[in-house]
Amino acid sequence: MDLRTEIAVGARFKLSDLGTIRCPELAGKAGIVVATSSRTTGITILFDGAKRPTVLHRDYISPSL
């Protein structure tokens, strides 16, 4: 799955199944995408209620409908 076309800045997201397995402390959290990069696999995200953004691998998040 190519998230660059599915996830854009400002898009809502939730953790994917892989993200929940790899980062269990973040399970059930959601937020918005604040930056993407075409050169790295990281996506900068801001979880709901967080003050600072976090960078996660593209495969760890999925679009929230």
pLDDT at 32: 95
Q: Please state, in angstroms and rounded to a whole number, the distance separating the CA atoms of residues 15 and 39.
A: 22
Beta bridge partners of 42: 57
- Indicate the number of domains in the chain: 1
pLDDT at 46: 95
Q: Please state, in angstroms and rounded to a whole number, the distance separating the CA atoms of residues 8 and 51.
A: 20
- Return the beta strands (E) in 1-65 as ranges: 12-15, 30-36, 42-47, 54-57, 61-63
User: Taking the model in full, what pTM does it have?
Assistant: 0.80
pLDDT at 6: 65
pLDDT tens track for 26-65: 998 999 999 998 888 899 999 999 999 999 999 999 988 7
Task: Give me the CATH number covering residue 15.
Answer: 2.30.30.30
Confidence of residue 4 (pLDDT cuts 50, 70, 90): very low
Q: Please state, in angstroms and rounded to a whole number, the distance separating the CA atoms of residues 6 and 62.
A: 9
* Structural domain for 8, as ranges: 3-63
